[in-house]
Chain A
């Protein structure tokens, strides 16, 4: 089990070069992501129905739910590639709808369905996205990431030629290029072997604990969720059914394990939210 951040104590300070060319975004705020009344509908189909939640610094929040629950739709709205039908998203206190570029400068993501261009090498991809994010002293930052993610020997290999585990590592290196205050990870360890997955989980956990990053994490691996997440949100049919500590929730709701609770919620979505334990 990884060390969890205390609820109190001084918030970590961001250096000036974190800002990717933009003015500092409320660096004293604890909330890195604030989602309020977020809704997405396509004609009669409601994909996400008015969900609200926050993600704080030093916190890893698991976004759980069965396929089609609205997890990816929610993540896409937070990333600004899908506009909500109603509600708002604030990243580091900046309204995404009003200041899209400024808000997204403080976020980054990695998703299994968004692999990096396969016709660029590892180092080229990192330099390309580094320029897009406006990273200062990019050469040094890319070198750092290649070392951190054990990618130095692959730096000149085209991403399309990498194994899925290696691609995941490159995607994660890209995801932390801009030292994001908010990191969205959609099944980041889905294609990794257990040893590699554990290393990546430890690294991501340290991003939250040591670097003050807030992380929103989706996964179908409940062991992983219990190990890494400080808090989970259960999503079903576009609504948050349950929220709380993944180690406490099963007991509070009469389930032996988080997986059992997940299966029960997925098969029999509740008519009303169960309440918020966290």
Chain B
């Protein structure tokens, strides 16, 4: 793998953000709105609970982590969609660029944009609403890594779907996190769900993060083995998503789909 093409994908995204400040707004605007809204909801709930339970870490913390996951996933797919929107596939893939270099470029782009969103969320949640992630201790890092891994996997999967189904399928990308959220127990324990939903939830890495987070915050024993399962699932999902993207890419080359993506621009 060569690093220059990976840097090229990253540089292109940097140029786009620099060239259009409006484009940078979604990096932190939506997460800020989420944090502010859920921050006030948790304040209200805390006032109702009258000190019996602190909703800030469990609800606002969950919102923050779920938003982080969503930003990572959308960071990958948005960088990919830039090539769909600018009809750039023919220019891009008629070069020595390999699929692994391209995907790595999308992932690093996503890490960069996701980090901006995370920083904004952390500052707002900590300064305005008194959320302290220190209460999660060193576990915060593996929690975020598992969410990061699954966000990457889902972003690659969403990109492969758009490549396979055509530019009009872009709308499929945006609701994917919302579609998964009921199954992973962002705000409630998995035990709340009916058995079939729990079954689905156990296949999704974020469920191990949110179960673990609730256990730590409630002072219950935390199972590192359970989080390891989540991490293993996230790693497996990245491999499967990468494999799926490569399969779709080969299909697009075999059938002429990749060339037609560009040809549509002349219609």
Contact = CB atoms under 8 A, between A and B. Distances in A.
Answer whether A and B are interacting partners.
yes
Interface of A: 20-22, 42, 72-73, 76, 79-83, 100-102, 104-105, 107-109, 111-121, 124, 127-134, 158, 174
B239 interface: no
Given A131-B4, A158-B19, A115 B265 contact: yes
Contacts of B255: 42
Contact of B94 (A79, A102, A131, A134): A79
Contact of A104 (B20, B90, B94): B94
For the complex, would chain B's binding face be called helix, strand, loop or mixed by DSSP majority?
helix
B262 interface: yes
Interface of B: 2, 4-5, 7-8, 11-12, 15-16, 19-20, 82, 86-98, 250, 253-256, 258-259, 262-263, 265-266
B95 A119 contact: no
A158 to B, nearest CB: 7
Nearest to B263: A113
A80 B5 contact: no
A21 B91 contact: no
Nearest to A101: B96
A83 B254 CA distance: 5
A42 B19 CA distance: 42
A79 B250 CA distance: 14
B93 A81 contact: yes
B241 to A, nearest CB: 22
Contacts of B89: 81
A76 B16 contact: no
A120 B12 contact: yes
Given A76-B259, A128-B11, A104 B253 contact: no
26 contacts: A20-B96, A21-B2, A76-B259, A79-B94, A81-B94, A83-B253, A100-B96, A105-B96, A115-B87, A116-B91, A117-B86, A117-B88, A119-B86, A120-B12, A120-B15, A121-B15, A121-B19, A124-B15, A124-B19, A131-B4, A131-B5, A131-B7, A132-B92, A132-B96, A133-B95, A134-B4
